[in-house]
Amino acid sequence: MADDLSAVARFLYEAGTLKQTKRTGWWMAGVRDPESVAEHSWRTALIATIIAKLEGADPAKATYLAVWHDTQETRTGDVNYVGKKYAPAGDPEAVTADQVEGMPDVVASAVRELVAEYEAKETPEAVCARDADKLECMLQGLEYKAQGYANAQRWIDNSRGRLTTKTANQLADELLETGALDWLRIALDEKQD
């Protein structure tokens, strides 16, 4: 193989740590075992696809941005808003530059460009990916609230208030009206009480 992929191999192991990196804000809501950054990113990518498609943006690009949006947290951890008040998280573009150092330029430059686009918040795809991030947080909050974590309401409200696209706002309204197990009842053809 012409290109040395050892830096890519190291990054793939590094990315795997996001499966164990917990989303720390949920601890303040009392959630004992919160979702991981990887779990959050997976559903964020699905949501980005849907929002972008309905907003007329490129769904593949929005999904691509969403997949990479928190990869820097392998090195910074998930710093919640209280933590950022005292120790600001590293600059995502600077962290990304370190993460992709030594990778084939075609890969490294693509990743740097994705993170820069997401952080700039200017393209329709970046706006959709960012809304997906907030909507996923709101959805997770709804699920935690259904599990008895009443303090998750703060995350639900804050995330809901930060949505910008028409589609994300409409989807938020639907999520607020839909029960966490409605999908199962419909799949099983059960009648609702």
- Which domains are delineated in the chain? 6-187 (1.10.3210.10)
Alpha-carbon distance values, 179 to 10, 86, 137 (Å)? 41, 37, 16
Residue 193: the pLDDT is 63
pTM for this structure? 0.93
Torsion, Cα of 119, 124, 64, 145 (10° steps): 80
Q: What are the backbone dihedrals phi and psi of residue 178, each rounded to the nearest 5 degrees, phi first? A: -105, 135
For residue 37 the two structure tokens come to 């950054």
Alpha-carbon distance values, 90 to 54, 67, 77, 99, 127 (Å)? 33, 19, 10, 13, 22
Residue 3: the pLDDT is 67
Please tell me the distance from the alpha carbon of residue 175 to that of residue 132, in angstroms, as a whole number: 13
Of 153, 157, 146, give the one whose Cα is nearest residue 180. 146
Please tell me the distance from the alpha carbon of residue 52 to that of residue 191, in angstroms, as a whole number: 33
Lookup result for tokens 């990304």: 96
The count of other CB atoms within 10 Å of the CB of residue 130 is 25
Please tell me the distance from the alpha carbon of residue 33 to that of residue 3, in angstroms, as a whole number: 41
Rounded mean pLDDT for each run of 10 residues along the chain, 193 residues in total: 82 96 93 96 98 98 96 88 80 93 95 96 98 98 96 97 98 96 93 71
